[in-house]
Amino acid sequence: MAYYSQPAAANYNTPPMHAQRQRGYRICDQCGTPETPSVKFRLCGGCMTTQYCSQDCQKIHWPAHKSICQHTAAQVSKAGAAASGYADEHLAKNLRKFASAHTALLGWAGFQALQLKRVPANVRQSALLVDLSYHDHPESHRRFSIASTHIVPRTYVRDPLVIQDIQRREERCRQSGGIGTLVVIVQCGGVSQVMPVEVDPPAKITWDMRDDWASVLNHFVESGRTDFKPISTTARGVIYG
């Protein structure tokens, strides 16, 4: 398996996985407000990954976000040059769009792959690596297919600024009672995207354990569906979302 020492700096922030924070939605990286149909988020124009609920939150967060933002923009620029062997010169941007479109699905797949409900400590040791293959399609998030998936050590991520950003999220998650930050890495060729996902204690997560997570991931990606909702079997019946 190819090894890329510095995956492109990502700044995705998915919410802690429970209903109160509307899991599956993004949260403002400054105030923690969850995205809803009535509150549409804005992306940072520099890195095009970090999201905010308002311009005020974006301004307040800028001193903390500046270094990772500039670093991400530089990595994307380098990735564009490295992707010259592909038909799409905007490979890095389309990879970010893919990760954004499948945020809930990728977070769920990482949770299942690392078996965090059974072994929460895995969140500190391992990460899910998703290798993608590229093909032409009118919709940017459908230009990728799942080539393979791997469980890799967290040390696979070597970029110091990305590691620092993951640690910041991990501290925030644990302060609010979570177990830490799940790391999902998606990559195509030499271009990678790191996706940190803050995870609540397993007792608060009602999702069913699924051994077929890889086939579910492949099905949603291949069909182009972005409406994934995890299944929870409770005393009240089966719940989607």
- Give the DSSP letter string of the chain: ----SSPPP----BPPSSGGGTTTS-B-TTT-PBPBTTB--EE-TTTS--EESSHHHHHHHHHHHHHHHHHHHHHHHHHHHHGGGSS-TTHHHHHHHHHHHTHHHHHHHHHHHTTTTT-GGGGGTEEEEEEEEE---SSGGGSEEEEEEEEEEGGG---HHHHHHHHHHHHHHHHTT--EEEEEEEEETTEEEEEEEEE--GGG--BPP-TTHHHHHHHHHHHT------EEEETTEEEE-
pLDDT digits (tens, 9 = 90+) for 124-158: 999 999 999 998 888 877 899 999 999 999 999 99
pLDDT digits (tens, 9 = 90+) for 15-25: 444 434 433 34
Q: What is the pTM of this model?
A: 0.76
The mean pLDDT of 35-64, rounded to a whole number, is 82
pLDDT digits (tens, 9 = 90+) for 174-199: 887 889 999 999 999 888 888 888 88
The yes-or-no verdict on residue 234 having pLDDT over 70 is no
pLDDT digits (tens, 9 = 90+) for 78-111: 655 554 455 455 788 888 888 888 888 999 999 9
- pLDDT above 90 as % of the chain: 30
